[in-house]
Amino acid sequence: MANRQTSARHLRELLVHRIASGQYTIGSQLPGTRELAVDVGANRNTVAKVYGELAREGLLQIVAGRGAFVVGRVDAGIGQEPIEQVTRLLDDAINRARLFGLAQADLVRLSEERIRAGYEDGTPRVSFVECNPYDARLASGELATQLGMPVRSLLYTDIPPSGPIETDIAATSFFHLAEVDRMLNGRGARVIGVNMLPDSDALLALARLKEGTRVGIVAANESGVERFSFLVRTYCRAEIRSLITPTDESLDELVPWTDVLVSSLSCALQVQAHAAGRQVIVIAFHVDPQSAQYLRSKILTTPAVG
153-204, pLDDT tens digit by residue? 999 888 888 888 888 999 999 989 999 999 998 888 899 999 999 988 899 9
Query: Are 94 and 133 in the same domain?
Result: no
Query: Are 186 and 292 in the same domain?
Result: yes
Residue 233 falls within a domain, yes or no?
yes
Domain hosting 114: range is: 82-121
- Give the model confidence (pLDDT) of 6-18 as tens digits: 788 888 878 887 8
Q: Provide the pLDDT for residue 254.
A: 96
Query: Are 138 and 272 in the same domain?
Result: no
Could you tell me if 213 and 279 are in contact, meaning their C-beta atoms sit under 8 angstroms apart? no
Query: Are 204 and 163 in the same domain?
Result: no
Overall domain count for the chain: 4
Band (78; pLDDT cuts 50, 70, 90): very low
User: Average pLDDT in the 199-227 region?
Assistant: 92
| Residue-averaged pLDDT of the chain | 85
Phi, psi dihedrals of residue 93, rounded to the nearest 5°: -65, -40
CATH number of the domain at 54, please: 1.10.10.10
Q: Provide the pLDDT for residue 303.
A: 64
Residue 157 falls within a domain, yes or no?
yes
CATH number of the domain at 146, please: 3.40.50.2300
Cα–Cα distance for residue pair 247/267, rounded to 1 Å: 10
User: Average pLDDT in the 65-88 region?
Assistant: 67
Query: Are 159 and 294 in the same domain?
Result: yes
Residue 1 falls within a domain, yes or no?
no
Query: Are 215 and 279 in the same domain?
Result: yes
Query: Are 267 and 209 in the same domain?
Result: yes
More confident residue, 304 or 182: 182
Residue 75 falls within a domain, yes or no?
no
User: Average pLDDT in the 128-140 region?
Assistant: 87
Query: Are 134 and 158 in the same domain?
Result: yes
Query: Are 51 and 107 in the same domain?
Result: no
CATH number of the domain at 247, please: 3.40.50.1860
Query: Are 184 and 239 in the same domain?
Result: no
Residue 232 pLDDT greater than 90, yes or no: yes
Residue 3 falls within a domain, yes or no?
no
Residue 306 falls within a domain, yes or no?
no
- Which residues, at least 6 apart from 18, have a Cβ–Cβ distance to it below 8 Å? 24
Q: Provide the pLDDT for residue 275.
A: 93
Query: Are 150 and 258 in the same domain?
Result: no
Query: Are 110 and 255 in the same domain?
Result: no
Residue 31 falls within a domain, yes or no?
yes
Cα–Cα distance for residue pair 217/46, rounded to 1 Å: 38
Residue 58 falls within a domain, yes or no?
yes
Percent of the chain topping pLDDT 70: 90
Q: Provide the pLDDT for residue 82.
A: 57
Residue 275 CB burial class (10 angstroms; 0-12, 13-18, ≥19): middle
Angle, vertex CA 104, rays to CA 102 and CA 107, nearest 5 = 70
DSSP characters over 7-23:
PHHHHHHHHHHHHHHTS
- Give the model confidence (pLDDT) of 30-60 as tens digits: 999 988 888 888 889 999 999 988 888 778 8
pTM exceeds cut of 0.75: no
